Amino acid sequence: MPDMERSDVRGRSDESPARTEERNGVRDELEGRLVRSGVVLSGSESDDQIISLANAVEAFETSRAAAGGDSMVNTPESSQPDDPHYVLPRRRDDESVEAYVNRVRDAADSI
């Protein structure tokens, strides 16, 4: 996963326009992947939370693939998934990022 930290190797703030543009591009890419996977974002997630979400979803998708689950059939939008365990859990409206990440990781572990 690309680094989205806001400081250089010496711990100083790196707010150069190029660095900011790169960080924003990475964030946009990760948010796009999450939305395509069916994750609901509020828009208030921090960079670190977006990375945590992306890592949890990636772990879930890796577990599903290793178990032979089809990523095209077992989606949150699917009316008849092969196996409900292969469907990424939906994020509840009132669910914090941390709680959702934990739930997704638990779901990945249970596959």
Question: 12-30, pLDDT tens digit by residue?
Answer: 556 788 898 999 999 999 9
Q: What is the pLDDT of residue 74?
A: 67
pLDDT of residue 9: 47
Q: Is the pTM of this model over 0.85?
A: no
Q: How far is CA 41 from CA 34, 87, 89, 91, in A?
A: 8, 18, 14, 9
Q: Which residues of the chain carry a pLDDT beneath 70?
A: 1-14, 74-77, 79
Q: Do residues 31 and 53 touch, judged by C-beta distance below 8 A?
A: no
Note the pLDDT of residue 69. Answer: 85
- For residue 1, what pLDDT is reported? 46
d(CA 59, CA 61): 6
Phi-psi region of 43 (alpha: psi -120 to 50; beta: other; left: phi over 0): left
